[in-house]
A = this chain, B = another copy of it.
Amino acid sequence: MATGKIRMGMIGGGKGAFIGAVHRMAANLDGLIELSCGALSSNPENAITSGKELFLPEDRIYTNYKEMITAESKLPESERMHFVSIVTPNNVHFEPAMLALENGFHVVIDKPITLTLAEAKALKEKAAETGLFVCLTHTYSGYPLVKQAKQMVKDGTFGNIRKVCVEYPQGWLSLPAPADNKQAAWRADPKKSGISGCMADVGTHAAHLAEYISGLQIDKICADLNCVVDGRALDDDGNVLLKFNNGANGTLMASQIAAGEENALKIKIYGEKGGLEWHQAEPNTLLIKWLDQPMQVYKTGNTYLSAIAKFNTRTPSGHPEGYLEAFANIYKNFALTLTAKQNGEQPSAEMLDFPNAEDGVRGMAFIENVVASSKSDQKWYDFKI
């Protein structure tokens, strides 16, 4: 049995950042993890102020991640952090992650895992070599009904899968972003974001969700990436035709210029016997469709759901769970995995059900392949890793 909470050190996520606060709430929720230290900003002043506001002890507020990793390494095992959580822009993922692994710390990292596919592969290799865990926060696969959907597909409920349609329209980049929009700024900057904007930011979520639920892998693509708003350096929109490794076809649409959309990730999957539909904005509803029977509305928290859905649910049916709970499922499963390891136990399949370095590699491959396909005159482009 665990003798204490799992200790987290955060890299990035100081005042003014968005996703860092989300990671902290997700890590807080279940009382399994405590924020023990942080290098919360590359700006030392911000790092210190942010650490104080989060009630960190002064000697564990660091002003850069190298210092943190070094210093924590030297603390007694009973005190030092167990893992780092990296919530910086994409260009500051790879180095701190490698350094953490090299120093014996597990890693949580926001997606996309790195700036390039090559980095992602290196990270995956390092994780394998060290036996440490890398956890990638593809939030949307953390929802209980997404896990229910995956289970039903796996159980053969719908027969062979024939078609997968996923879409992820947002509207927040419909206009040229104001200069002071920090979120918009780094995402539009190739140096910080990499070779893709929209496809890296939200397309990867859509691709991961499609593969996660269907259990299939994208095999060929035909991509049309667009830069709709004048003066933008990276794609802000795109449509992709898909072929999966079982021959199923599909579509993936991602956009950040879909004016009026908030965060409208939706997926529809069709098999021989029926289909499913899930919308992130109403995540506690999973529509199950049948050839000759009424559609069923699965709702989170019910007894009729699969074990894996229940394992990832906190409240009874009718008490809606949201984005933070899905995010927290990733942290919770990761923490349970680390605890099991500490106790010398093998983590269960349910505990290990969080996105990992392999998913990170596939995500980076998705980005590189869609960008290449979009530039190509060739119709079908092989999805290469």
Contacts and interface: CB of A to CB of B under 8 A. Distances in A.
B260 A228 contact: no
A74 interface: no
A-side interface size class: 35 or more
A239 B228 contact: no
A354 to B, nearest CB: 19
Contacts of A288: 260, 294
- Chain A interface mostly: loop
B260 A274 contact: yes
A299 B260 contact: no
Interface string A106-133: 0000000000000000000000000000
A163 B258 contact: yes
Interface in A266-317: 268, 270-275, 280-284, 288-299, 301-304, 314-317
Interface of A: 1-2, 4-5, 18, 21-22, 24-25, 28-31, 35, 52, 54-55, 158, 162-163, 165, 167, 169-171, 174-175, 222, 224, 226, 228, 237, 239, 241, 249-251, 253, 255, 257-264, 268, 270-275, 280-284, 288-299, 301-304, 314-325, 376-379
Given A224-B241, A281-B284, A294-B296, 7 more contacts: A25-B31, A170-B318, A237-B249, A260-B295, A280-B318, A284-B322, A288-B294
